[in-house]
Amino acid sequence: MIKEAATLKEALFEKRFGGKGTIKVKSLLDAEEFIGKGRLFAHNIIPPGSSLGYHKHEGDFETYYILRGEATVNDNGVMKTVKAGDVVYTPPGESHSIENTGSQDLEIMALILFA
């Protein structure tokens, strides 16, 4: 199966998980395509100063792959700067947030699979 770019679903989220600004999320897989193994595979665009708020993963885990830009990640209370090429992994039961602290859009691939 091939999905053409024009057919991918996009959504805008205001203050996602209590974060700041507006996040653009392009879903790469639909729910049924996970075959019960996960719930999100997306390309996220986070403008400068915007963020995904601090949230906990229960029964699933999330991985971010930073494609472009620079951000500050709160990894269970530990603040860390990440940049293009870095990976952020949040196991089940742990929490995280990410804020674009750079001057260009932050682009990340996000994958959430069930534990």
Residue ranges for the chain with pLDDT beneath 50:
none
Check residue 32 and give left, alpha or beta (phi > 0: left; psi -120 to 50: alpha).
alpha
pLDDT tens string 54-63: 999 999 999 9
- How confident is the model at residue 98, as a pLDDT? 98
Cα distances (Å, whole numbers) of residue 38 to 22, 62, 67:
24, 10, 21
- How confident is the model at residue 60, as a pLDDT? 98
Residue 31 has phi, psi (to 5 degrees) of -50, -45
Task: Answer whether 106's CB lies under 8 Å from 70's CB.
Answer: yes
pTM, entire model? 0.94
